[in-house]
């Protein structure tokens, strides 16, 4: 165990944890956050995604010591049910979920992608989402929501 300083959703936390612990467990169990989720523990599905300096990072395979002091944003740090971020609002408007478990990874991956590629084509967006899984297969609605968010960003 050692003292780790984490900056999550604008707040700084000082935690006594094993520095090799994957970030996901620290977020879920030490900080009690509900946005990032365990899906595979292998970095394959995207459910655990968080933004690290705006980049989509898979927290289940990222050791907590690697992101000390760096700004981390989770899905609940993006917006709230009353004041959702525009991309979250696009998903709500499109009713783009069934069980919703994958939404964390879908929304954060899309946000990081759109921030970097605001003019991406439909095909490029699909490629940008190529490592994210939704097993309810809400794909059509999710892609529609991402495109709606993209149009919103362009305005």
**Interaction of residue 8 with other proteins, rule CB under 8 A:** no
**Interaction of residue 130 with other proteins, rule CB under 8 A:** yes
Alpha-carbon distances of 95 from 50, 87, 92, 103, rounded to whole Å: 22, 12, 5, 11
**Interaction of residue 68 with other proteins, rule CB under 8 A:** no
Stretch of 51-59, 71-79, 147-155 lying at the interface with other proteins (CB under 8 A): 71-79
Residues 6+ apart with CB under 8 A from 73: 8, 9, 50, 51, 54, 108
Minimum separation from the CB atom of position 64 to other proteins (A): 10
Q: CB 55: neighbour CB atoms within 10 A?
A: 11
Distance of alpha carbon 58 from alpha carbon 47, whole angstroms? 8
Which spans of this chain sit near other proteins (rule: CB under 8 A)? 1, 18, 21-22, 25, 28-29, 32-42, 44-45, 47, 74-76, 78-81, 84, 88-89, 91-92, 95, 97-104, 106-107, 123, 126-143
């Amino acid at each position: 165990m050692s003292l780790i300083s984490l900056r999550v959703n604008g707040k700084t936390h000082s935690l006594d944890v094993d520095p090799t612990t994957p970030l996901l467990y620290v977020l879920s169990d030490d900080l009690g956050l509900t946005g990032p989720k365990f899906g595979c523990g292998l970095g394959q599905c995207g459910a655990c995604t968080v933004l690290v300096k705006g980049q989509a990072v898979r927290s289940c395979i990222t050791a907590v010591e690697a992101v000390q002091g760096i700004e981390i944003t989770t899905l609940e740090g993006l917006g709230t049910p009353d004041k959702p971020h525009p991309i979250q609002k696009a998903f709500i408007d499109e009713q783009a979920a069934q069980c919703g478990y994958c939404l964390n990874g879908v929304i954060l991956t899309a946000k990081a992608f759109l921030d970097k590629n605001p003019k991406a084509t439909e095909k490029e967006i699909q490629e940008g989402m190529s490592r994210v899984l939704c097993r309810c297969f809400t794909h059509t609605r999710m892609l529609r929501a991402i495109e709606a968010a993209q149009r919103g960003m362009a305005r």
